[in-house]
Amino acid sequence: MPVQTILQYPDPLLKRVCDPVAPLHDGISGLIQDLLDTMRAGPGSVGVAAPQIGVTQRVCVVDVSGNRLGLDSNHGLLIMVNPEIIMREGAATMREGCMSIPDYTGDVERSTDITVHFRDAEGTLREIETSGFEAVAIQHEMDHLDGILFLDRITSLKTGLFRRKKYK
């Protein structure tokens, strides 16, 4: 499947709450492949959510295994259909970026440890516990499914938003 164009803020689709999907409905495998191809093509991308490519369904992909921040603790490639966080603990602030807001990064407070359950690409129900960078990446992508951007979670618009010098 081809790499899809990433919608840019302030596109209104980025602010829509996505609809749940039947895990094995027609077209879900094509959507998943589009998300994977788009994530892999994005500079420094560790995840992408369906609304970022104009599809308002609750599907996202995350893979932090190739990022230095995720090397030591990750579950590899995660394809998540209808993900839901069922437990959150801790809090830490981390700098985040987003392909839908390519010119800025920002300091965002997120839970440090989460448990999430979701259906995978085959429709199997999975539950994982994760922490650190992978937990942050999952929360970021799941926010997209609820129409929330990292800009909505910046700790301080005055001191927590930064112009990106170079997109990596």
Residue 141 a catalytic site member: yes
From residue 111, alpha-carbon distances to 3, 41, 114, 130, 137 in Å are 31, 28, 7, 10, 11
- Kindly name the residue from 84, 129, 134, 141 that is annotated as catalytic: 141
How far apart are alpha carbons 146 and 16 in whole angstroms? 7
- Using alpha carbons only, how large is the chain's radius of gyration in Å? 15
How far apart are alpha carbons 7 and 107 in whole angstroms? 22
Burial class (CB in 10 A: 0-12, 13-18, 19+), 15: middle
Residue 86, SS3 per DSSP: strand
The tokens of 47 are what? 């995840």
Which residues are designated catalytic? 141
